[in-house]
């Protein structure tokens, strides 16, 4: 039986269509993906992301210990700032992509993907070293993403202290809609402005209902996927995994190979960088009819040379877009290859990403 978030009753009340995702019973849509996508691009949308996991790293050497686990460099991150990063295996493959919230050098809060709730926690616990402890906190939090051009005003009006002054990827603890002990972060997965609010699970429906009263449109996984793909945000399990490195996935900007002491997987990445990438994740648009889906073959001169990792019909562009791994020599903008869609080759062209430029992705 699939797991359920604290907001599961709210989804049923709203007649959401539920599907299983990463072991969780989640809403894929309410009124329709296109309507929900538009609500986020033009107004404000609400997403239940309580299936995500949370891990707390504490101790006198918490910062130093976490530095060895992640690709990015937390010494460049101030208290009250969040940082996008990744956990890697020794081969440089991506175990998960994460966000680290730095409360202090002795207290770091990490949000992991739903599929990484247990595996990430166990991996961190096994590799943390001395001077720090790792605590599983996933059941202690519900999480609601409030996204769109009107999101900041909606959330700020409910917060004490106010949060409108927070810049992108910063956070603070606040009381939200009368609910104490929340964490409000100016982050998101849509390319729009907005916040992600961590709150006590038993108070999550109260917060959800209040946000709906203030104009928030409930949105499901369908819109979440089309929104993130338009701005080319990677999805773990599709666009990156344990067999692909962050360099191949186009996430070199979160990899700090010059970080003192290195990190798990850094030697493999140094070797890969020195020898040159053999494959790269690229954005493409189909020039023929169809929609390329995850796993569809990429062909060059009739031979399979790669595969699609994500694809959809962009609601904003009204064009089929996607991401795919291709040999490095086919990764240059303007390069043409074909994608096999239901047994038929369809032409595609490599394009610059993001496909759509919105506020938070600028």
| Domain locations in the chain as residue ranges | 8-50+141-230, 53-139, 278-354
**Close Cβ partners of 260 (under 8 Å, ≥ 6 residues apart):** none
3-class secondary-structure state, position 155 = helix
Q: How many CB atoms within 10 Å of residue 346?
A: 19
Instruction: Please write the tens of the pLDDT for every residue from 200-241.
Output: 999 999 999 999 999 999 999 999 999 999 999 999 999 999
- Regions in the chain scoring below 50 on pLDDT: 360-362
Phi first, then psi: what are they for 221, rounded to 5°? -65, -30
**Predicted local distance difference test score (pLDDT) of residue 358:** 63
**Predicted local distance difference test score (pLDDT) of residue 360:** 43
**Predicted local distance difference test score (pLDDT) of residue 314:** 98
**Predicted local distance difference test score (pLDDT) of residue 357:** 87
Top-tier CATH class for 53-139: alpha beta
Top-tier CATH class for 278-354: mainly beta
Closest CA to 21 of 60, 48, 58, 54: 48
**Considering just the CA atoms, what is the radius of gyration of the chain in Å?**
20
**Close Cβ partners of 302 (under 8 Å, ≥ 6 residues apart):** none
Q: What is the pTM of this model?
A: 0.96
**Predicted local distance difference test score (pLDDT) of residue 289:** 92
Q: Which CATH superfamily is domain 8-50+141-230 in?
A: Probable tRNA modification gtpase trme; domain 1 (3.30.1360.120)
Q: Would you give the DSSP letter of residue 246?
A: T
């Amino acid at each position: 039986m699939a797991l359920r978030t604290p907001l599961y009753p709210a989804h049923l009340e709203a007649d959401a269509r539920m599907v299983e995702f990463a072991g969780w019973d989640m809403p894929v849509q309410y009124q329709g993906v296109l309507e929900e996508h538009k609500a986020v691009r033009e107004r404000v949308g609400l997403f239940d992301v309580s299936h995500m996991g949370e891990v707390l790293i504490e101790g006198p050497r918490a910062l130093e210990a976490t530095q060895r686990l992640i690709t990015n460099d937390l010494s460049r991150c101030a208290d009250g700032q969040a940082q996008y990063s990744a956990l890697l295996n020794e081969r440089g493959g991506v175990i998960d992509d994460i966000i680290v919230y730095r409360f202090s050098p002795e207290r770091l809060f990490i949000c992991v993907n739903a599929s990484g709730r247990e595996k990430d926690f166990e991996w961190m616990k096994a590799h943390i070293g001395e001077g720090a402890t790792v605590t599983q906190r996933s059941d202690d939090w519900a999480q609601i993403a409030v996204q769109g051009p009107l999101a900041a005003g909606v959330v700020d009006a409910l917060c004490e202290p106010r949060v409108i002054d927070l810049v992108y990827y910063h956070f603070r603890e606040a009381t939200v809609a009368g609910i104490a002990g929340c964490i409000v972060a100016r982050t998101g997965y849509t390319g729009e402005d907005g916040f992600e609010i961590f709150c006590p699970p038993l108070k999550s429906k109260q917060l959800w209902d209040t946000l709906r009263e203030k104009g928030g449109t409930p949105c499901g996984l369908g819109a979440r996927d089309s929104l993130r793909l338009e701005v080319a945000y990677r999805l773990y399990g599709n666009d990156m995994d344990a067999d692909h490195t962050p360099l191949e996935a186009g996430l070199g900007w979160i990899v700090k190979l010059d970080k003192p002491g290195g990190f798990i997987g850094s030697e493999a990445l140094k070797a890969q960088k020195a020898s040159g990438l053999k494959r790269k994740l690229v954005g493409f648009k189909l020039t023929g009819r169809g929609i390329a889906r995850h796993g569809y073959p990429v062909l060059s001169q009739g031979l399979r040379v790669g595969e699609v990792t994500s694809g959809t019909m962009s609601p904003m562009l009204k064009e089929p877009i996607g991401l795919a791994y291709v040999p490095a020599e086919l990764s240059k903008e303007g390069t043409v290859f074909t994608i096999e869609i239901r047994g038929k080759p369809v032409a595609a062209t490599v394009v610059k990403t993001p496909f759509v430029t919105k506020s938070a992705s600028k």
